[in-house]
Structure 1
């Protein structure tokens, strides 16, 4: 069974997971920008990873717009973000990014990544600054909002190699 890992990573956390998964599975690996849907014809399993931006998986359109071309493939998607990996977080991401029909075809996993403001491009920095102001303006903060404010000015990396185990197990169960 031939496997490919495709990733889109702005700050490196998704790439780290993609590298670990590809290494563990002896899979080919490509950056999102270098992939076309036609390239995926040679693979039995397609794994896509993207960072979260307002609960949307960065670059997921590559998979969603080509589901018909991938109909005979096993599709696995993972997302990374700064929020802790909780069931309600995964459910929210899954429901925002995939229809009920798509959820039947796509195996989805959420893995905690990290946050590094210094690696963001100008537009993303502006969005994060607006988010910070919005959070600071609230009277009561959730634990996640408190956590976001705490890490805003200093890089944090929550990636752990053992977080890939569920993805790897999903591939090996074929």
Structure 2
């Protein structure tokens, strides 16, 4: 079984998981911009990891746009996000990123990553600042904040890293069984 891990990571959480998976599987690892379909053709197992961006998986198009060339391989996609894993959110991620046909070939996993405002691009910082203002406005109006909103407000001032190597165990077990 020849495996490769490819990833796209904005703040380093997806990259960290990709490196741990590659290490455990003794797999090759590439940032998504370094990958071609010719390069992927030699692998039996392709693992892609990307960070979530408004429920979209960063860089996953390398898999979805080439599904016809890859569907004879074992395909795994993981996404990282700051929020704890919730079934309804996972279903939303799957349905937003993959067609029903693609879902037949792709096994999806969600891995809790983190949030580091300081590592965001200027554009992403602007978007996140707007979100922060929206949450703060809700709080000022006396509306109850969700657990995720409380966590997001706290994360602006202090980076949060929820990555744990044990979180990849389910992926490793799926691939090796």
In structure 1, how many angstroms separate the alpha carbons of the residues matched to 2:73 and 2:169?
20
Which among 156, 162, 170 is matched to residue 158 of structure 1? 162
SS in structure 2 of the partner of residue 69 of structure 1: helix
Mapped pair 1:144 → 2:148: yes
SS in structure 2 of the partner of residue 29 of structure 1: strand
Mapped pair 1:131 → 2:131: yes
In structure 1, how many angstroms separate the alpha carbons of the residues matched to 2:149 and 2:156?
10
Deviation at 1:102, TM superposition (A): 1.3
Mapped pair 1:76 → 2:80: no
What TM-score, normalized to structure 2?
A: 0.94
Gapped regions of structure 1 (runs ≥ 5): none
Q: Pick which of 43-52 and 29-38 moved more.
A: 29-38
In structure 2, how many angstroms separate the alpha carbons of the residues matched to 1:136 and 1:37?
45
- RMSD in angstroms over aligned alpha carbons? 1.0
Can you list the C-alpha shifts for 1:28-54, whole angstroms capped at 9, x where unaligned?
A: 000011111221000001000000010
In structure 1, how many angstroms separate the alpha carbons of the residues matched to 2:100 and 2:136?
35
In structure 2, how many angstroms separate the alpha carbons of the residues matched to 1:19 and 1:9?
12
Gapped regions of structure 2 (runs ≥ 5): none
Q: Which structure 1 residue ranges, 4+ long, deviate > 3 Å from structure 2? A: none
In structure 2, how many angstroms separate the alpha carbons of the residues matched to 1:163 and 1:26?
18
In structure 1, how many angstroms separate the alpha carbons of the residues matched to 2:89 and 2:167?
15
Name the count of aligned residue pairs.
Answer: 173
- Match of residue 12 from structure 1: 12
Can you list the C-alpha shifts for 1:85-114, whole angstroms capped at 9, x where unaligned?
A: 222222221121112221111000000001
What TM-score, normalized to structure 1?
A: 0.96
